Amino acid sequence: MPRQVHLFDPPERFVAGTVGQPGDRTFYLQASGGGRTVSVALEKGQVQLLAEKLTELLEEVRRRGIDVPAGPPREIEDVAPLDQPVEEEFRVAALALGFEVDAGLVVVEAQAPAEGEEASEIGDDDEAGPDTLRVRMPPRAALSFVTRAERVVAAGRPPCPLCGLPLDPAGHVCPRMNGFRR
């Protein structure tokens, strides 16, 4: 089957979101525009790391003298739920980030697992590569993505004050308490 590259240049909307209750949530990246929506599943840690690395990328771009806003204005903060129905295109195996200096755009790529190969380079459209979600967006949209992603990650179960693992509503077996329930 030929490779699919889902390109949004720029998207009307690019967000991280979840389906399910804390402790049993599935995390998604969702891009939409031009009458279509693509959703890819990933782990909570991948969403958190993507937000952190996007922040670092934008700080580096700013240090190099490129005009990047300090933060998204509150009026464009996206708090709406994911577009329904959420149909998973693939599960993300690799994420890549870049900044196109000439265009002034942030590039985010989410790639499916590569069959017997390593992940493709960012922007590579070789037919043999893994399915890819590629989003090219202005820095302000990337900042908006980061704000929402951080909120989505923080909305999960609270951490145990002793070990940092997530607490279930009924508590959990805490390794710092030698297996006793907390």
For 53-62, what is each residue's pLDDT tens digit? 999 999 999 9
Residue 171 lies in a domain: no
Residue 176 lies in a domain: no
Q: State which residues form the domain around 34.
A: 5-157
Residue 132 lies in a domain: yes
What CATH number did the domain enclosing 136 receive? Answer: 3.30.2450
**pTM, to two decimals:** 0.85
> Does residue 169 contact residue 181 with C-beta atoms inside 8 Å?
no
Domain count, the chain: 1
- Residue from 14, 23, 30 nearest 155 by CA: 23
Residue 121 lies in a domain: yes
pLDDT value of residue 47: 97
Helix, coil or strand: residue 58: helix
Residue 68 lies in a domain: yes
pLDDT value of residue 131: 94
pLDDT value of residue 70: 73
Residue 136 lies in a domain: yes
